[in-house]
Structure 1
Amino acid sequence: MEKSKKDSWVDTATGNENFLGRKTVDKSTFKYGTTIPLRYHKVFLNNLSDKLSFGKSIKVKLFINKKEFSAMALWPSSKGRNGMTVQLRYSNKALLEILKEKLEVSYDYIVQYEKENDKKPTTIPAEYQEYIDFYKGDKIDTFVLELIPKSNSISEDEEIDDEEIIEDELDNEFDTITNINNEITYIHKYITSKGFYYTKDLITNFYLSLKTKPFVILSGISGTGKSKIVELFAQAVGANCDNQRSQLVQVRPDWSDATDLLGYRNIENKFVPGIIIIDAAYEAMKNIDKPYFLCLDEMNLARVEYYFSDILSTMETRNIKDDEIITQRLLSRAQFGKDERAYDKYGDIYIPQNLYIVVTANMDETTFPFSKKV
């Protein structure tokens, strides 16, 4: 293979018949994917189940340490392109975070360069270069990515990945239920087995409310089990405090804006993420196939409109994109200031369809009433 022009791919051989090519990590690696050079088209296209044509994409699977991620191979339809352009594109949050974590030397250089020069680098100096090796998977339309960081010590990471795989296999028998009526029956029986009693009609209403719009207010007098039903319901579907997929947050009476929930810039102009950003939406986006619950307890101890209006407005932007219900981004570019690393990590955070926000509200003389908006 001969290079017709300079690119980020390294011509090398590994002796593995499934080896496709080695790419030097660059700015696109941590955002969108990679463009496949012409000299590698044949080996990549032979691993696809269909023929690429102008403007067409084919769904593929990427594997890193046995973990599977969705991606696509495509021939972009952008105007002005000459000849065939093959790209491997991905947007999975968990995949991007793995790349940033494992290839942090290159990633940190890109972030620092952009901070100092107000643009991303076109090339990465040799002392910061890291690589990704691409292999054919066991099946057609699958590719295996081997990350090559500056430090090749990955035995500890492999142990963590093995634990995650085992946890996924043993997660919860709820995962095998596909019928809605059976799901509700299972949840009700689970809660009853824990020694608590809620009517099946109540569980059904709660379930349907969450599925209709993942924001539910449970109101009533103190001590009637509002917070407990959220905890038990979450446990029934495999979300709990131990796996950090269920979280109870006590609303403070002094909340007067959204900084505690969304984040803020500190005195050093660094972005400090809030509860919803770091503990809820961010993690839920990384594991879109698993439910996450955030319970704001005693929501109306503070004026709801003061600290929650931005989130309510964002919820109203829910739309379907690529078979997933998503919202607009929770934060604007200006809210990050010059903290490029925080923007790169949290700038695209939205409320995913697998994040369920439940709030409890006591209706007594110690709380504030709800407005029409809420």
Structure 2
Amino acid sequence: MKKLYFLFLVLLAISCRLFAQQPIGRLPDWALGPFVRPPGLNPIISPDTNSRFYDPMQQKLLDWESNDTFNPAAAVKDSKVYVLYRAEDKSGVGIGHRTSRIGLAESRDGISMKRMKEPVLFPGSDDQQEFEWTGGCEDPRVAVTEDGTYLMLYTQWNKKVPRLGSATSKDLVHWKKHGPVFQDAFNGRFHNIPSKSASVLTTLKDGQLRITKYKGKYWMYWGEYHVYAATSDNLVDWEPVVDEKGALKALISPRKGYFDSNLTECGPPAILTDKGIVLLYNGKNLGGKDRDTNYTANSYCAGQMLFSKDDPTKFITRLDQPFMVPAEPFEKSGQYPAGTVFIEGLVYFKGRYLLYYGCADSRVAVAVYDPARAN
């Protein structure tokens, strides 16, 4: 009898733990979702040891996407979905110690991918070399303007200071780099601070998410440890929003005891809706006593927050539970075994939202939200 009782307690503890690890059951009406992983189809992009690329910096052929492929952006063009993903070679050991380049894949259904053999954005012998070599080009977010210009906001990593950089393209293949986005603002005051993860403001128009303005300015949310904001007149040069003392104005910060207790890192482009501005973000859990014990220590889960449509700096609310958590084996193994669903790419394609994310810093996967089925 004692053995059966002990077994019952063990099974109860396991079931409670599994239940606690689940995402939020019901979303509020302002949030996007639910997002569902297509069964049996993920991951959609994995490392490829056969791809070769002539690296202009080292002047030799190398296997540029052999170690990891992760943290993707996404865009729609000519009735296809394009995924721009971060790829690492085998030039070092550990996250951040190799060289990253941006690869490109296209798809007619948003799931089955055809990849280009060479990267489309990478460190080269250009005016961005000091910011991108030897770490590379990381973690892109991509959105499109009304006139069909694609904007990429990505991390330039020289293994000293990570900086947000911008690039533009008309075809998603050929990109013009414009350099660090904060280099001219406030006489360069924020040029040499660490900056990452930019989510430009978009809205759903004519069946596609397009970059939009607020009171004549482009807006973006950015940041890893906190959520900040910035404005622009041209999409490539940005001015951070500051407080009355001239310091960066933190709009949102991590919360002790929640899934985002360590980081609130901006995800894919933000969306202006009739309920407000919805920002999807990546919450990292702490590893110590202030973490959310319902979720694995140091794991990345996906959250959503809402800002006022009348004032992009005015925070309204956020989810207390994540809407996506690491659940699949490929989301909990790889470079980051604590578990990661790292969201960066979001498109509206054929009536559905497709959310692209990195899995344990090693693979790319997709989740789908169909508004017609959710209602």
Structure having the larger proportion of residues in helix: 1
**TM-score normalised by the chain length of structure 1:** 0.25
Question: Larger Rg: 1 or 2?
Answer: 1
Tell me: higher relative CO, structure 1 or 2? Use CA pairs within 8 A at least 6 residues apart: 2
Structure 2 length-normalised TM: 0.25
Q: Going by fraction, where is strand more abundant, 1 or 2?
A: 2
